[in-house]
């Protein structure tokens, strides 16, 4: 068996190569490289797909999150609730706008925000007379967080719900797409995300006209008319080449989600014999994942990872060290034991190879190798 990469970006490129190269050439020849027709077309298409009024193309998922927070202009030094079990970008943007992250725990079955920990954290801060301004709910690994329940609580308490859908573009609860539950949402088109380009890009979605307008201004240095600046902005644009690539990739997006789903189902069906050595993720009823990563919990995780690597199978660990225990957040005074589920997951999670064009033969080789490891 040939080596099995964790995510085979080259194989994915080969599938769409002809079409993508043609579109890139057209952008090169058009003379328009920023703020042009490709970006406008992409924004309209994706807003429509999500079922939301406004989309603003930006330079990355991180910048999308930052621009939402910046545009909301929340009171300085207030708190933003955020899961500890996520990519660092979700929390780093909070600090960047002068707010304070407050880490909450997740559920072990879905890896997403625990409603209990979320509500408890809010009450705990309130008791200490600390103001909570927002929560950033992450739909991790493609699976929607409990967005309906989180939204309800936010409405009761008068705090903003911001969605980080960087790993979950295309996912939905019932017929409602993630990215449409909060005041605004941020997605990423980083190469390994479900809808991806060959570099950095992202998008902000919102149903609020003024918020969309402000994000658009902020990503152009805060400029409201030529060389007239109202806000402290950034250079946060998407470019025409990435937009053109994404327009091609989007044509095949739903098909790719279906391919990912079939792969995950094959893994799930075969790995269930390995319980309790291996624990499988849960997909709540009516929650439709975009399957960006397939993450199991494994006994002797690091040994299993090394064993699979010796067989040419590359895996990933998302995330090995929870954010609340990272040196950069030590001033927030979280300690070991504060978020027990997050801390346990960090020791157990293993993401298996997953990309739309993984073959059945490759999947079965991964499954067989995991079985071989636990037989010893």
Nearer to ligand PLP, 88 or 130 (CB): 88
In angstroms, what is the minimal distance from the CB of 161 to ligand PLP? Answer: 15
CA atoms within 13 A on the CB side of 291: 23
H or E stretch at 196: none
Quote the tokens at residue 363: 């999947």
Q: Which residues of the shown chain bind ligand PLP in the complex (CB under 6 A)?
A: 60-62, 86-87, 89-90, 138, 164, 166-167, 188, 190, 200, 202
Shorter beta-carbon distance to ligand PLP: residue 170 or 278: 170
Residue whose CB is less far from ligand PLP, 193 or 305:
193
Residues in the chain: 376
Q: Are 222 and 229 in contact (CB under 8 A)?
A: yes
Whole-number minimum distance, CB 86 to ligand PLP, in Å?
Answer: 5
Measured from the CB atom, the residue of 39 and 369 that comes closer to ligand PLP is 39
Q: Is the CB of 112 or the CB of 117 nearer to ligand PLP? A: 112
DSSP H or E stretch at residue 50: helix 37-50
The answer to whether 87 touches 62, Cβ cutoff 8 Å, is no
User: Shortest gap between Cβ of 84 and ligand PLP (angstroms)?
Assistant: 12
Token digits of residue 207 = 């149903």
* Min CB(92)–ligand PLP separation in Å: 9
At closest approach, how far in Å is the CB of 374 from ligand PLP?
A: 30
* Angle formed by the axes of helices 240-251 and 37-50, nearest 10°: 40
The residue written with tokens 């399957």 in the block is 291
How far is Cα 107 from Cα 342, in angstroms, rounded to an integer?
8
Residue with smallest beta-carbon separation from ligand PLP: 61
């Amino acid at each position: 068996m040939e080596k099995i990469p964790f995510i085979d970006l080259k194989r994915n490129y080969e599938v769409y190569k002809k079409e993508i190269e043609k579109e890139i050439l057209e952008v090169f020849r058009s003379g328009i490289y920023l703020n042009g027709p490709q970006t406008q077309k992409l924004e309209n298409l994706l807003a429509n797909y999500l079922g939301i009024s406004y989309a603003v193309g930006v330079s990355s998922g991180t910048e999308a999150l930052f621009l939402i927070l910046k545009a909301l202009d929340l009171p300085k030094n207030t708190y933003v609730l955020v899961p500890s079990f996520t990519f660092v970008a979700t929390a780093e943007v909070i600090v960047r706008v002068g707010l304070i992250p407050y880490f909450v725990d997740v559920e072990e079955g879905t890896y997403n925000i625990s409603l209990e920990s979320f509500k408890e954290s809010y009450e705990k801060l309130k008791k200490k007379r600390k103001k909570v301004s927002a929560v950033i709910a992450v739909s991790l690994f493609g699976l929607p967080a409990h967005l309906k329940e989180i939204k309800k609580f936010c409405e009761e308490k008068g705090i903003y719900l911001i969605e980080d859908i960087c790993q979950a573009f295309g996912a939905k609860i019932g017929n409602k797409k993630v990215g449409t539950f909060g005041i605004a949402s941020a997605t990423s088109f980083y190469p390994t995300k479900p809808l991806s380009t060959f570099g950095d890009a992202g998008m902000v979605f919102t149903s609020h006209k003024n918020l969309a307008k402000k994000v658009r201004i902020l990503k152009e240095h805060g400029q409201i008319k030529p060389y007239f600046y109202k806000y402290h902005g950034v250079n946060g644009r998407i470019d025409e080449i990435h937009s053109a690539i994404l327009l091609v990739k989007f044509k095949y997006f739903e098909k790719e989600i279906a391919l990912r789903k079939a792969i995950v189902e094959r893994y799930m069906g075969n790995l269930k014999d390995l319980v309790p050595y291996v624990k499988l993720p849960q997909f709540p009823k009516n929650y439709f994942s975009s399957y960006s990563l397939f993450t199991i919990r494994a006994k002797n995780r690091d040994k299993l990872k090394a064993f699979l690597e010796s067989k040419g199978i590359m895996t990933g660990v998302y995330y090995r060290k929870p954010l609340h225990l990272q040196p950069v957040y030590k001033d927030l005074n979280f300690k070991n034991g504060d978020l027990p589920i997050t801390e346990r997951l960090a020791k157990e999670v293993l993401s298996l190879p997953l990309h739309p064009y993984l073959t059945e033969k490759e999947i079965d080789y991964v499954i067989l190798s995991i079985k071989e490891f636990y037989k010893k």
